Amino acid sequence: MLQIFLVACAILFSIFVIRLLLKNKIGERNSVIWLGGLIVILLISGNPTLFDKIARGLGIHYPPSLLFFLSSIILLTFTLYQTVQITKLSTKIKDISQYIALGCEEEQHSNIQLENELEHHANDE
């Protein structure tokens, strides 16, 4: 019964991730990461004895501790990746803002120069 519940949750979660992808609310890379994690969860839940053997092979007597440890490492890695992406985007936004500000300043300067020339020509006539 638990395996049926986990499979149903996995299907619902995958539908949710795919809908987010189709609505452009999540990137392709991130959706691949989430769907990959979902596949790993399905494999572990479908084969709990395999996970127990892996944990015991690593010298871990309580297999859920290995699951908790791996989950923590994956979440920390994903958080670090997201932090790097946010930093890159912040730098790009700053650069674009500076470019626009310089472009507007140059445009204002050229407009003032043009107005001065027009006034000068009007005064000469």
Residue 29: closest CA among 20, 3, 56: 20
Q: What is the mean pLDDT of residues 100-120?
A: 69
Residue, of 81 and 125, whose pLDDT is higher: 81
Residue-wise pLDDT tens digits, 17-64: 899 989 988 888 888 888 888 888 888 877 878 888 888 999 998 888
Separation of CA 45 from chain center: 26
**C-alpha angle with apex 21: 27 to 87, nearest 5 degrees?**
20
* pLDDT of the residue at 5: 84
Strands (E), the chain: none
Cα(84)–Cα(106) distance, integer angstroms: 33
